[in-house]
Chain A
């Protein structure tokens, strides 16, 4: 057999070498392009920045050091500042919570409309998918700024803006969850004459609720960050406090430090909480499946 395959072997050899060369070429080009993009991109970004990277590098700790040293000398004020910033923090968390609740609710509806086998109007599935893509693509700041112009500053524009994006982002994840759901219970319910809302509520929701919840929780954590950032551009909450404290500059750094601390602790807290609960959920469902 080895004798017979001499000619094909040469062909294999030649083909593999050609393939290797091509792969090396493509790999080399890709690596080169990537390195060039990173290098030139960094160069461009550096040039267009107000201060350069290298001149700025030694000063990277100046501001944190200034804030910390001032906060330290006025550490007696810190508890008061923390207490004063607390309502703003609560507002930021409220914005995120309301946005996540509303966003998740509409995401559930949209995701059902956009999943094959669940959709009440199957022909419109691509339409609902596009709607979700579009909602996902809109950065929160765009809607927030427009709504601040119309509705005035405050938590409502931020909550609407974040909710809008959340519908798109969660809708996509939810529809992926829905696609993996078992269709048999739905068929069973359909056979006993259940209408669409009943089929969804009784057949789908029990299957997918833990996954939905886990994604919504992750989104909640992301939304807290978003809500803080939107505050910075005028939508109220802790971001607004932060902006004010910073713009006062030297002399008010102790207030800035208080806001920094509060924001950091909040984000870490919800980050850990959401990953803890999500781990418990997946672990719990695994255990359930094993029984």
Chain B
């Protein structure tokens, strides 16, 4: 169903994604783990075609999507919805309008310029919001919602695209544990009920273990682990995160933000050193 072969991304002299290959034969919920700068985000962005790949093949249902341009590229983007760490909604517009942005790919440019959407789309948008438990906020501006609610609006926008794949780039990294759970449960339910493939970049090991069918570990742009949650032992995790003997899983699940910042700082330092 999804076949990735030799996918590589170079930024100048740096290699962000290095010769990644794997195959997925049925819709699954896949978690990609690894520390910041491991190339997880770049991989998802290449898949959605927000970032151009340098080399390789990414075939979905037998068709390589990387060389697509124009209309074909946009059609692929609408098949493969994306959810972002910072939600990437339009904060000044109301929730339903934000969800309706999921239909932009298939609606005429002129009508959407004036914010004109068919009534059936509006009904569908509200249904999706209801499914995610936030229909009561339909009329509010996106910026008036909490982070967890905004992320659910972003998921609703993704569902509005009726995609075959949902890519989630650190969907819970900006959320508190309660909201993180709600969002992850929503993603899992979408996978279970609709049979859509979900690929999520995750920071926390326990989240990946708990919600995913398959876990891919990345380090320095390469795939270093690919298997079931059961196969992911502490030793393997230590390898993925490149930590020493003092590594504990707790370090990846608590203090999400602080940890993230420390890692980012470490990577910056490392880059400066190079």
Contact = CB atoms under 8 A, between A and B. Distances in A.
In the complex they form, do A and B come into direct contact, defined as C-beta atoms under 8 angstroms apart? yes
* 6 tightest Cβ-Cβ pairs between the two chains A and B: A16-B138, A13-B126, A9-B130, A12-B138, A12-B135, A9-B135
Nearest to A16: B138
Contacts of A17: 119, 122
A27 interface: yes
B28 to A, nearest CB: 26
A113 B233 CA distance: 72
A275 interface: no
Interface in A121-150: none
Contacts, number: 35
Contacts of B135: 5, 8-9, 12
Contacts of A27: 114-115
12 contacts: A2-B130, A5-B130, A8-B135, A12-B126, A15-B139, A16-B138, A17-B119, A17-B122, A19-B139, A20-B122, A23-B115, A27-B115
B242 to A, nearest CB: 33
Contacts of A24: 115-116
A16 B139 contact: yes
Contacts of B122: 13, 16-17, 20
Interface of A: 1-2, 5, 8-9, 12-13, 15-17, 19-20, 23-24, 27, 31
Contacts of B123: 13
A5 B96 CA distance: 18
A12 B136 contact: yes
Contacts of B116: 24
A190 B138 CA distance: 52
A27 B113 CA distance: 12
A207 B116 CA distance: 50
Contacts of A19: 139
Interface residues of B, number: 15
B257 interface: no
Contacts of A1: 133
A8 B136 contact: yes
Given A2-B130, A20-B122, 8 more contacts: A2-B131, A2-B133, A12-B126, A12-B135, A16-B96, A16-B126, A16-B139, A23-B115
Nearest to A31: B114
Interface of B: 96, 114-116, 119, 122-123, 126, 130-131, 133, 135-136, 138-139
A9 B135 CA distance: 7
A121 B60 CA distance: 74
Q: Is the interface of B mostly helix, strand, loop or mixed?
A: helix
Nearest to B133: A1
A228 B119 CA distance: 58
Which of A2, A15, A20, A27 is the most central at the interface, judged by chain B CB atoms within 10 Å of its CB? A20
Nearest to B131: A2
A16 B97 CA distance: 11
A9 B123 CA distance: 10
B40 to A, nearest CB: 32
A9 B133 contact: no
Contacts of A23: 115
Contacts of A5: 130, 135
Contacts of A9: 126, 130, 135
Nearest to A2: B130
B70 to A, nearest CB: 30
A143 B135 CA distance: 60
Contacts of B126: 9, 12-13, 16
Nearest to B129: A12
A11 B1 CA distance: 41
Contacts of A15: 139
Contacts of A20: 122
Nearest to B96: A16
B129 to A, nearest CB: 9
Contacts of B119: 17
Nearest to A6: B130
Contacts of A31: 114
Contacts of B133: 1-2
Nearest to A8: B136
B1 to A, nearest CB: 30
Contacts of A8: 135-136
Nearest to B119: A17
Which of B130, B131, B139 is the most central at the interface, judged by chain A CB atoms within 10 Å of its CB? B130
A13 B130 CA distance: 10
A278 B63 CA distance: 55
A2 B136 CA distance: 12
B134 to A, nearest CB: 11
Nearest to A13: B126
A20 B126 CA distance: 13
A30 B116 CA distance: 15
Contacts of B138: 12, 16
